[in-house]
Structure 1
Amino acid sequence: MSALRFLALILPLWPAAVPAQDAAGDFDYYVLSLSWQPAWCRTTGDRRGASECKPGSGIDFTVHGLWPQYERGYPEYCDTGERDPSRRETQAVSDLMPAGLALHQWRKHGRCSGLSAADYYAALREAARSVAVPAPFDDLARDITLPPAVVEEAFTEANPRLSPDGVTVTCKADALHEVRICLTRDLAPRDCAPDVRRDCSRPRLLMEKIR
Structure 2
Amino acid sequence: MKRLLLTMAALILALPLGAAELGDDGLHKTDWMRDTFKDLREDLAEAKSEGKRLVLLVEQRGCIYCTKMHQEVFPREEIDSYIRDHFFVVQMNLFGDVELTDFDGEVLTEKQAAGKWGLLFTPTILFLPEDVPEGHSAAQAAVATMPGAFGPGTTLDLLTWVREKRYATEEDASFQKYHARMIEQRRAE
TM range (shorter): under 0.3
Structure with higher Rg: it is 1
TM-score by length of 1: 0.25
- Name the one with the larger helix percent: 2
More relative contact order, 1 or 2 (CA 8 Å, 6+ apart):
1
